[in-house]
């Protein structure tokens, strides 16, 4: 299966290493916005991929046949093709994929960043995201009562994006969304990470204070599992890389990453 893969080479030699970017549900590599080029300018080689059935990758016609472990295969296959040290940054559902693969990651992976990702215990059914996965029809009915003409766009704008974005921009992003596998949605409601045994790979947990999908409580749960402390970006929303203030988030992510790498080198 052919997977979309956008490779960016650092302008400096040697580079600081490779970043592999894994996106969230129903989107593709495009959801990282300006971040790949930003990281490239800061000395990283960047590989921005789309999972099967997403973005420009093959497999859209079979999207509802996929489970979370199929996406794990995609990530591991790309990792196997990378030479030298690599850090994996995974957003939202991509973080669930990465956590599912954590004990299988190759030795070349030196750190992982879970960006606005669900906790390893799975998404709570009572949360807005859990309600969407378990009762999409009911949730849409509620939204239509409040927004009779534009329920879907309003729901996407309310839960996923910053209120600093105008409605036309939010709608343009919404139109780029792919379908997500119903089986993957079910997988996300159950625990998807086993006991973490790869303590040689540090885990960085980063999220947003105004994220209505992955809450600060979720971030603390994830951080406790990996025995770390979450970094919570004030004022940011779920799709922080598509926020008008994306550069603030990008800078914070690279700062956390550089600190983690520096700690590894000092050991």
Rounded-to-integer distance, Cα 39 and Cα 33, Å: 11
DSSP symbol at 109: E
Q: Mean pLDDT throughout 152-166?
A: 78
Q: Mean pLDDT throughout 51-73?
A: 98
Counting Cβ atoms within 10 Å, is residue 43 exposed (0-12), middle (13-18) or buried (19+)? middle
Q: Please calculate the CA angle 167-171-176 and round it to the nearest 5 degrees.
A: 155
With a cut of 70, say whether residue 68 has pLDDT above it: yes
Strand partners, 18: 45, 86
Rounded-to-integer distance, Cα 176 and Cα 200, Å: 38
When the candidates are 1.10.3720.10, 3.30.420.10, 3.40.50.1820, 3.40.50.1220, the CATH number that belongs to 5-266 is 3.40.50.1820
Q: Specify the pLDDT at position 211.
A: 93
Contact by Cβ (8 Å): 188, 122: yes
Indicate the pLDDT class of residue 151, thresholds 50, 70 and 90: low
- The helices-and-strands tally (H runs, E runs) of the chain is 10, 7
pLDDT digits 0-9 by tens, 97-114: 999 999 899 999 999 999
Closest CA to 131 of 100, 155, 154: 155
Q: Specify the pLDDT at position 141.
A: 72
Strand partners, 207: 232
Q: Assign 169 to helix, strand or coil.
A: helix
Indicate the pLDDT class of residue 224, thresholds 50, 70 and 90: very high
Contact by Cβ (8 Å): 117, 214: yes
Q: Specify the pLDDT at position 185.
A: 93
Indicate the pLDDT class of residue 241, thresholds 50, 70 and 90: very high
How many CB atoms within 10 Å of residue 5?
Answer: 16
With a cut of 80, say whether residue 157 has pLDDT above it: no
Mean pLDDT for all residues in the chain: 91
Domain boundaries, the chain: 5-266
With a cut of 70, say whether residue 267 has pLDDT above it: no
With a cut of 70, say whether residue 152 has pLDDT above it: no
With a cut of 80, say whether residue 198 has pLDDT above it: no
With a cut of 70, say whether residue 16 has pLDDT above it: yes
Q: Mean pLDDT throughout 6-14?
A: 95
Indicate the pLDDT class of residue 146, thresholds 50, 70 and 90: low
Q: Specify the pLDDT at position 30.
A: 98
pTM metric for this prediction: 0.93
Q: What percent of the chain has pLDDT over 90?
A: 74
Indicate the pLDDT class of residue 150, thresholds 50, 70 and 90: low
Indicate the pLDDT class of residue 208, thresholds 50, 70 and 90: very high
Contact by Cβ (8 Å): 20, 79: yes
Q: Specify the pLDDT at position 123.
A: 94
Q: Specify the pLDDT at position 147.
A: 60
């Amino acid at each position: 299966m052919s997977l979309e893969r956008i490779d960016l080479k650092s302008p400096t030699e040697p580079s600081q290493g490779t970043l592999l970017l894994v996106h969230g549900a129903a989107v593709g590599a495009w959801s990282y916005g300006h971040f790949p080029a930003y990281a490239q300018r800061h000395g990283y080689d960047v590989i921005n991929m789309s999972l099967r059935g997403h973005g420009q990758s093959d497999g859209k016609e079979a999207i509802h046949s996929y489970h979370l472990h199929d996406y794990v295969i995609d990530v591991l296959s790309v990792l196997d093709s990378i030479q030298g040290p690599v850090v994996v940054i995974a957003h939202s559902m991509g973080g669930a994929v990465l956590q599912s693969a954590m004990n299988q990651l190759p030795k070349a992976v030196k750190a992982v960043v879970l960006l606005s990702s669900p906790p390893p215990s799975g998404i709570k059914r009572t949360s807005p995201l859990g309600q969407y996965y378990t009762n999409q029809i009911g949730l849409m009915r509620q939204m239509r009562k409040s927004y009779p003409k534009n329920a879907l766009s309003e729901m996407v704008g309310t839960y996923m994006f910053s209120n600093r974005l105008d409605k036309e921009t939010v709608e343009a992003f919404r139109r780029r969304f792919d379908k997500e596998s119903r089986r993957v949605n079910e997988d996300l409601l159950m625990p998807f990470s086993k006991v973490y045994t790869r303590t040689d790979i540090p885990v960085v947990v980063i999220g947003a204070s105004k994220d209505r999908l992955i809450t600060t409580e979720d971030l603390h749960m994830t951080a406790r599992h990996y025995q770390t402390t979450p970094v919570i970006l004030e004022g940011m929303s779920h799709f922080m890389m598509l926020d008008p203030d994306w550069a603030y988030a990008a800078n914070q992510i690279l700062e956390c990453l550089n600190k983690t790498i520096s700690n590894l080198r000092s050991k």
